[in-house]
Amino acid sequence: MVTSFGDLLGPPPTLLTGDDEAESELLNGAAPATVAAGSPTASIAWAYLAEAELDSIDEAAAQSGEVPPAVVAAYAYARTGYHRGLDQLRRHGWKGYGPVPWEHQQNQGFLRCVGALARAARFIGEEDEYLRCLDLLNDCDPRAAEQVGVTAP
C-alpha cells in the first residue's frame, strides 16, 4: 500500500510540537523580532522575519545589479530558522529524510524557513543552495514548495 508520502515501510511522518507561546504571540500581532529574541528556537518567528524581508524588496532596485540588504537579512533569518528547525526535527526522531507534512501547522515554521532560504539563495545566484532547498521541500512534502512560493527551475 502506498500513501501520499510513499511506501508504508518508510519512516513515519515527523510532527513537530512547535512553540505555542511564540505562535500565539505572532498571531496576536507581536513583532516577529521580539518573538524571535524571546523564543529563538521557534522557526516560525524566523520565517516571519525572512518572509517580511523578501516581501520588502523593491523589484526595480533588485534589478539594478546590487543586492538589496533585505535579501541578505532574509537569507540570515531563514538560515537561522532552518537550523533551529533541523534541531527540532532531530529531537523528534527525524533522520534527515522522511515526511514532514505541511498540513501539520507546527511543521510550517521550518518549511517556511526552507522556502525563504531557497528564495533568498536564488536571488543572490546561489543556485546549488536553491536546488538543495527545493529538494528538501519536495522530500518533506511534495506540496510544501508550492505553499511557500518556491517553483522548480
Structure confidence by residue, pLDDT tens digits, 57-113: 977 666 777 889 999 999 999 999 999 999 999 999 999 999 999 999 999 999 999
Confidence at 55, pLDDT banded by 50, 70, 90: very high
Intra-chain end-to-end CA distance of the chain, in Å: 32
User: Hey, which bits of the chain come out as E strands?
Assistant: 2-3, 6-7
CB of 44 closer than 8 Å to CB of 112: yes
Q: Which amino acid is at 147?
A: Q
**b/e string for 120-149 if b means 16 or more Cβ within 10 A?**
bbbbeebeebbeebbebbebbbeebbeebe
CA distance 95 to 84: 15
User: Hey, which bits of 76-130 come out as E strands?
Assistant: none
- Checking if the pLDDT of 50 tops 80, the result is yes
pLDDT tens digit sequence for 130-140:
999 999 999 99
Please give the model's pTM, rounded to 2 decimal places: 0.92
**b/e string for 41-57 if b means 16 or more Cβ within 10 A?**
ebbbbbbbbbbbbbeeb
